[in-house]
Amino acid sequence: MQIIWLGHSGFRIDIESASLLVDPWLTGNPMFPTERRAEAIAGATHILLTHAHSDHMADAVALAKELGIPVVGIYDLTGWLAAQHRIDTIGFNKGGTVTLGGAAVTMVNASHSSSISTPEGPRHAGAEVGFMIAGEGHTIYVSGDTDIMADMGWMGDYHKPDIGILAAGGHYTMNMARAAYAAKRYFDFKTVIPCHYRTFPALEQSATVLADGLPGVQVIEPQVLEPIRL
């Protein structure tokens, strides 16, 4: 299994026979090297969306059409995308599990917001979510954009993820200190990978506080397009 950061909150997760593009914001992402786009998306099998904000969904439709692969996410958002753009989608909802290339993907709660910008103003796009992705003897918790929430207690106890991909840049999500608190209180991670940071000046630029708050946990500051093999 390998996890590849695409910058901001975007990841490519190669697990079982699936290659999942999670929140793949490539166009206009200041952290993503556009000359390596073809490499980043080659062989992808699904696009997984946590919510509709443009820094997570902006490339989803174009990638779905280019690669001929479905967009997977909450029913309300995927239904709207299918109707508007004639793309293949897999819509489900919190508590539901879909099998993608042998990996079990369960939708879980997040605490944020989700909307699409339209000429008439913001359009509600279903709820924001996270995912538990299980395969190859691991369970990965992709938090999506979220703050700490009590739901993390049962999520950690029930799913027992050993890898956490946590939005931790502050301003729009948990910051590094809050992410460390959540990881320590609610989970038993072996590995934590921060995201949603370093992209803009308003976000945190280092994961030192996160690492310092999680002694005994492997905290990996990802580098764009450098594979993390677990």
- pLDDT given at position 189: 98
∠ CA 56-15-100, nearest 5°, is 70
Confidence of residue 122 (pLDDT cuts 50, 70, 90): confident
User: Rounded to two decimals, what is the model's pTM?
Assistant: 0.97
Strand ranges (DSSP E) for 45-196?
A: 46-48, 71-74, 89-92, 97-100, 103-109, 115-118, 121-124, 129-135, 138-142, 163-167, 191-195
Residues of the chain above pLDDT 90, percent: 95
Domain ranges of the chain: 2-223
Residues of the chain above pLDDT 70, percent: 100
- pLDDT given at position 140: 99
| Rounded-to-integer distance, Cα 125 and Cα 80, Å | 8
Residue 123 has pLDDT above 80, yes or no: no
The highest-level CATH class for domain 2-223 is: alpha beta
Confidence of residue 87 (pLDDT cuts 50, 70, 90): very high
Give the distance from CA 90 to its chain's centroid. Answer: 16
- pLDDT given at position 18: 98
